[in-house]
Structure 1
């Protein structure tokens, strides 16, 4: 039923102006016309990231959106850090922390938060 349909990330935020600066400026996503008040729509590869204002923004304690960045992982981490992104450090069984990256075998992952506290993730696969 949904196997051949595209999915999108839908992320609640507290402050639309701060979200616009973060998702468009810091992360470099391309903003699309949303046609709705209090909603920002971004293109990210072939996917859509929809950002909207909600009183419940930042209450999710799990990952809201993940980007698979392949071999560009280290380069993207450095670029995000240069733009002021602070990476989260978690105690994750089977993983070691190497700088700001969580590593297990060939896997590398890094988590960070947007201005509303939503947890975002990049990985090298």
Structure 2
């Protein structure tokens, strides 16, 4: 069964070198290896595949979400801002926004885009 196997987030990009700079330098992900027309990064205990595709940036939903401990969330948001990341705000019912950070039932989150327009986010549980 597939539940017995690891799953891997996959993000399509138009320019692998530009994506390398963003994911490695801006987001601080650790490169794992180069593959034909792509890259593997490590994030936590998971690998993230970034590969070249003519369909890069066409997904209008969250492609990758990073789960951040509650005590580190504000520092991660500040660090990303300091690296030039701009957070997006969306018209979502039941969500309160404050400077690009959404608060909703038991969680906070912030969404941003990579250079191709792929939507990424960081989130944290605020439940006690």
TM-score under structure 2 length normalisation: 0.93
Q: How many positions carry a matched residue from both structures? A: 124
Q: Which ranges of structure 1 fall in alignment gaps of 5 or more residues?
A: none
* Structure 2 residue 24 is the aligned partner of structure 1 residue 24: yes
Offset at residue 38 of structure 1 (A):
1.5
Deviations 1:27-47 (A, max 9, x none): 11100123x222110011111
Residue 45 of structure 2 corresponds to which residue in structure 1?
A: 46
Q: Paired residue for 2:5?
A: 5
| Equivalent residue number for residue 61 of structure 2 | 62
Shift of 1:4: 2.8
Q: Give me the TM-score of the superposition, normalised by structure 1.
A: 0.95
- Offset, 1:59: 0.3
SS at match of 2:3: coil
